[in-house]
Chain A
């Protein structure tokens, strides 16, 4: 008696289609180095930089604590992050930010400088059809 699974080629083709559909949703993945820094002088924002660069060497570590941004077929990470700036900066604050503060009071005149830094960190970025998944590597 022939079993249901006897039709091997049919099962294989169905599973291939399902697998390819699932795989096609993740178009490609890349690793990026991202750093962020801003300076506040006397309670006024003075300078802000967000540096994004493709990793030239493979990063070590496993992705954790990912964030997902909805996109409209844009594959440029800078554009995507610019569109979701507020959300991304909140996400960076969860990863840990270096705080450096200097204050000088001389003859009753006060000057203060606060620098907030996200040290250069490697992120794995999965570009999909409708969304981008960004996860830091640790």
Chain B
């Protein structure tokens, strides 16, 4: 009985070791510059899933990007009409920024100041720089000093020189 238990334990250890050695890993670069490490045979499935999830711009298919920008009217305005005009301008700028963020991306810089093992200051800076052309305002709403502008832009492959 004792010997059979020892033999079973040895066999289980041996099988674990065999599994560990046989688990070959392969590296597949995902379309979005993400490196995925996964066991052999499972990467195909995950990379295909990623491809289907991503909205890729092709010659046949255009991409429609829709955003909602928000702007606030200043406190000291001379009339409700002026408040609306100013808030709308701010909302349009916000919508442009959101489109630029989606199409071109955001640069993020972070800085933490640690002194005597304590975080003294934590700063995150983000910036966006882009040129937006042919964006269309779909809808504008103004309610309680907040203006919302829905903006759309259609991206087609022909707009980008190859």
Contacts and interface: CB of A to CB of B under 8 A. Distances in A.
A99 B71 contact: no
A116 B96 contact: yes
Interface in A90-119: 90, 93-107, 114, 116
A43 to B, nearest CB: 5
Most B CB atoms within 10 A — which of A97, A104, A105, A106? Answer: A97
Contacts of B131: 96-99
A38 B127 contact: no
A62 to B, nearest CB: 18
A27 interface: no
A97 to B, nearest CB: 6
Interface residues of B, number: 33
A48 B123 contact: no
B89 A103 contact: no
A44 interface: yes
A105 B70 CA distance: 19
A114 B70 CA distance: 12
Interface stretch (B14-22, B44-52, B55-63, B132-140): B132-140
* Best-buried of A43, A90, A95, A103 by chain B (most CB within 10 Å): A43
A10 B128 CA distance: 67
A44 B72 contact: yes
Contacts of A96: 131-133
A43 B94 CA distance: 7
Contacts of B87: 45
Contact of A45 (B86, B124, B127): B86
Interface of B: 70-74, 86-87, 89-90, 92-94, 96-97, 99-101, 121-135, 137
26 contacts: A40-B89, A43-B70, A44-B72, A44-B86, A45-B71, A45-B86, A90-B137, A94-B133, A96-B133, A97-B133, A98-B130, A98-B131, A99-B93, A99-B100, A100-B127, A101-B128, A102-B126, A102-B127, A103-B125, A104-B124, A105-B123, A106-B122, A107-B122, A114-B93, A114-B96, A116-B93
